[in-house]
Amino acid sequence: MDLFFDSSILVTSTLLAFFTLLIFHSTMKTNGYLHSFHHLSLLAFITIIFPTVVVGQDTGADFWPEGKQMAISLTFDDGRFSQVQGGTQLLDTYGVKATFYVVPSAVEQQIEGWKSAVAHGHEIANHSLVHPCSGNFAWSRDHALEEYTIEEMKKELSMANARLHELLGVEVRAFAYPCGQTYIGSGKETMSYVPLIASLFASGRGWMDEAPNDPAYLNREQLTGIEMDGKDFEEVLPIIERARNNGFWLILAGHEMGVSGDQTTRLAMLEKLIQYAQKPENGIWIAPVSEVMDYLDNQTN
């Protein structure tokens, strides 16, 4: 944690405090309450001056590499066909590397495409063995989270890691919660499996979150993922700008990669985003999730 302050703000606040206390002193003396003046003036001074001295992690241009102002990770779930049938080709054209949270059975159906993705430097991450979600989804009834135990979840996640290593030769370090759901069991037996993810992976990413990640307060097992499916660049840009203004890490999450459609990250939007991010004046670092995590770990050590 660094101690930092803006000296101009401090001077202005000091002058404001001085004149405020002069007026306060005159009022107290006139009304016969000078006895309490010293205690109240100290409180007023602390109230006005202390907020100008900020304790925290400076996540501006001095924090991110090469003077960047923020980080973006592009992430895609499930291992869908379109991701290696047009999606990775667009990313490779611009030299951008993404994180793909995949299910092994999906990789098996497009093995050459996924081997090419690995060869081009994209990160392959775990999205479970069978994509279990709540039984509230009819399609997930055979793999309902409500029916899982921690032991069963651990076994399946370990099997998925092993299978991805067998298929692609990768050491899996990151995980994304299917459906963004982080629990198993139901009723009074419900429990979080976030601690399990902490024991197996360097990070865990959520889904449909509302805010980017603050490097000064990083919950690595519950990184936020903001949806980019179905959006034009003009809808994504304000999200980027807000993250950059705060020096945050924005993890964008999508599924299909194509022109349009359900759960689809539009390639036109993605191309505009990459072109925007690659302009030096925009101060954006694009990197896979685990690369950003490694950087953050090095910054805090």
For the chain, domain boundaries: 2-56, 65-300
> What integer pLDDT is reported at residue 301 of this predicted model?
74
User: What's the rounded Cα separation, in Å, for the pair 78 and 94?
Assistant: 23
> What integer pLDDT is reported at residue 24 of this predicted model?
45
> What integer pLDDT is reported at residue 57 of this predicted model?
46
Nearest-5° Cα angle at 216, 214 to 217 = 70
> What integer pLDDT is reported at residue 220 of this predicted model?
97
The CATH fold assigned to 65-300 is TIM Barrel (3.20.20)
Nearest to 206 by CA among 222, 219, 189, 187: 222
Contacts 24+ apart (CB under 8 A), 187-194: 191/150, 193/148, 193/150, 193/153, 194/221, 194/222
Q: Which amino acid is at 128?
A: S
User: What's the rounded Cα separation, in Å, for the pair 105 and 109?
Assistant: 7
Low-confidence ranges of the chain (pLDDT < 50): 1-16, 18-21, 23-25, 27-28, 30, 33-58
> What integer pLDDT is reported at residue 29 of this predicted model?
52
Q: Using the 8-state DSSP alphabet, how is residue 83 labeled? A: I
- pLDDT tens digits for range 164-214: 999 999 999 999 999 999 999 999 999 999 999 999 999 999 999 999 999
User: What's the rounded Cα separation, in Å, for the pair 133 and 103?
Assistant: 13
User: What's the rounded Cα separation, in Å, for the pair 170 and 97?
Assistant: 15
